[in-house]
């Protein structure tokens, strides 16, 4: 009976103390350093610049980038908060916010490139339709005018020409 009580005490102490020790070690292991925070904030800033350039290229090609700009603004807000946390030496929050900023922009460049390519393709077809359509329209007007002229000339000749009084 005595052995069971001693064994139970060790189990009871182990159940209480072990989680406290693990929590202490895990928070030390997960604590972000200043260099981790600086690298995360810089990486998020570089990602925003890359995404902004992709959005600018898509917009320059005539794409509607309104939806992309919303994501870019949200990521910029998160980066601003990460920079503020870094300046206040809250490195864990800086890393978390910078990583959220970067994850907000995952797939952004691919989407911007797709919009740019679609805008270029649409612009090409718009140009082709306008130029070819205008050319065909001009030729149709000339041909129609000539056809009307020939029909009227033939009727005039059949009627005996112009009558002068």
pLDDT in tens, the chain (165 residues): 545 554 555 544 444 444 544 444 433 334 579 999 999 999 999 999 999 999 999 999 988 999 899 999 999 999 999 999 999 999 999 999 999 999 999 999 999 999 999 888 876 666 666 777 778 888 888 899 888 988 888 888 887 766 555
Q: Where are the domains of the chain?
A: 1-30, 33-132
**Which positions ≥6 away from 102 have C-beta within 8 Å?**
43, 44, 47, 75
pLDDT of residue 146: 87
CB 57 within 8 A of CB 115: no
pLDDT of residue 130: 74
Supply the pLDDT for residue 101. Answer: 95
Helix axis angle, 91-104 to 66-87, nearest 10°: 170
Residue 124 token pair: 């090409």
Q: Which pLDDT score is estimated for 153?
A: 82
- Residue 136: predicted pLDDT: 82
């Amino acid at each position: 009976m005595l052995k069971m009580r001693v064994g139970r005490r060790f189990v009871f102490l182990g159940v209480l103390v072990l989680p406290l020790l693990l929590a202490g070690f895990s928070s030390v292991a997960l604590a972000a350093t200043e260099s981790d925070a600086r690298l995360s904030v810089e990486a998020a800033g570089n990602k925003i610049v890359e995404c902004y350039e992709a959005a600018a290229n898509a917009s320059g090609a005539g794409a509607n980038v309104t939806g992309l700009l919303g994501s870019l603004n949200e990521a910029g807000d998160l980066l601003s908060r990460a920079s503020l946390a870094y300046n206040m030496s809250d490195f864990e929050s800086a890393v978390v916010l910078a990583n959220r900023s970067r994850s907000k922009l995952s797939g952004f460049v691919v989407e911007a490139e797709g919009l740019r390519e679609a805008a270029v393709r649409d612009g090409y077809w718009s140009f082709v339709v306008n130029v070819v359509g205008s050319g065909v329209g001009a030729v149709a007007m000339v041909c129609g005018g000539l056809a009307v002229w020939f029909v009227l000339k033939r009727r005039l000749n059949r009627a005996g020409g112009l009558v002068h009084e």
